[in-house]
Amino acid sequence: MIPQLPLALRWPRRQRFEHFHAGANAATVASVQMLASTPGAPWLYISGPLGSGRSHLLMAACQAASEAGRTVQYLPLAGLRDHATVIRGVAGSQFLALDDLGAIAGDREAEHALFDLYNQSRADGFAMLFAADAVPTQLGLGLPDLRSRLGACEQAVLKPLDNAERREVLRSQAAARGIELDDMVLDWLFNRYARDLGALLDLLDRLDKASLAAQRRVTVPFLRTFLKESDEG
């Protein structure tokens, strides 16, 4: 079973629809919002590469569905063990979001558990939202009926933000924290640090605390010192 956490911890504040930069993915975001808020909306399968925002959208959907009064579960399958038991343990939830479906590929028991959960949730009139790095036919699932069920969902492909969009998101998120990131800082970050937006936003959270503690602006020298100390620590 998934441990139950307070909602504020289960759905991080940053992982909300209002913090998702849609870009070319506006139609997908609208479909996820409809599924989270509207009983009977089409089930959705989202595919996209690492850093495209799959997990962000799933957690935002869970938060919205919870606020709408539905019982909710989010399963980050890549970070869980005993997938079959976990999948069976969420039966009866009115809104289910399953992330990183590729983690169960080849696990016969887990695939059968998801097939059964899919059918039961459909019969109960509940909602399911799926995400993976590939479309159902390319996940390596061994159960043909499961591939068929997942393929019957509405399909959406997330397109990663380009560099200019990622820079704008990082700049705006920094501004919301009272941090000014000039072009030199952004150039340094994108040339020397992970370009995955989630990793950059995590770094921004740490920088926010460090700059406040040191009472210093975020500059390239400050970044060098901060990252060196972080690596050494």
Condensed to tens digits (0 to 9), the pLDDT of residues 119-174 reads 999 999 999 999 999 999 999 999 999 999 999 999 999 998 888 888 888 898 89
- pLDDT score, position 13: 62
Residue 11 has pLDDT above 70, yes or no: no
* DSSP code, position 178: T
Token duo for residue 40: 């009977």
Predicted TM-score of the model (pTM): 0.81
pLDDT at position 161, please? 83
Of 70, 11, 57, 65, whose CA–CA distance to 36 is shortest? Answer: 65
Residue 50 pLDDT: 83
Mean pLDDT of 174-200: 84
> Is the CB of residue 50 less than 8 Å from the CB of residue 2?
no
pLDDT tens-digit map of 83-92? 999 999 999 9
Categorise residue 216: left if φ over 0, alpha if ψ from -120 to 50, beta otherwise. Answer: beta
Predicted pLDDT at 9: 39
pLDDT over 60 (residue 4): no
Element (H, E) at 132: strand 127-132
